[in-house]
Structure formats: C-alpha cells, structure tokens
Amino acid sequence: MKKVFTQTIATEIGGVCGPIERVNVPQQSNQGDCGMFVLKYIELLSAEILLDTCTSHNMPFFRLKLAAEILRGDAYMT
C-alpha cells in the first residue's frame, strides 16, 4: 500500500516522490487545536524547524501570532 500511495503522490505532483517516513510529532491535548497544529506543522516543516516546538502549551501564542499576521496582511506570501 505504501508503494501505491507513493506512486499516486508522485503522479499527482508530476514527478518522483521520495520515501515517506512516519515521524513522531507532538499531539494536541484538546479538540480545538487540530487546525492550528496542521498550520504550524506546515510552517515549521517548510522552514526546516523541528516540530517539537509545536505543543499544546504554545497554541495560545501561535493563535495570537497568526491573528496578528492576518490583520497586518503578512500571513500570505506573494
């Protein structure tokens, strides 16, 4: 199944996909932070920053930071 999934992804992005690795990442401790965790993982992975900085303890800060970025207009890359 892993091979089929990898081939499907490679087809979708129009190239060859490297091996897919399962990694341990911090988990949310409530039912409301799922979206923030996903956004932070995308941000941290794209910046090659370790995911262990993304914890439920830090979520209030991350929510405020995202709100400020949206209000300032710098949450979107042009």
* pLDDT tens per residue across span 34-76: 888 888 888 888 888 888 888 888 889 989 988 898 888 876 6
pLDDT tens digits for 11-36?
A: 555 555 566 667 677 777 888 888 88
What was the pLDDT predicted at 32?
A: 80
Q: CA-CA distance, 26 to 33, in Å (whole number)? A: 12
Structure tokens at 50: 């370790």
Instruction: Supply the pTM of this predicted model.
Output: 0.59
Domain ranges of the chain: 23-78
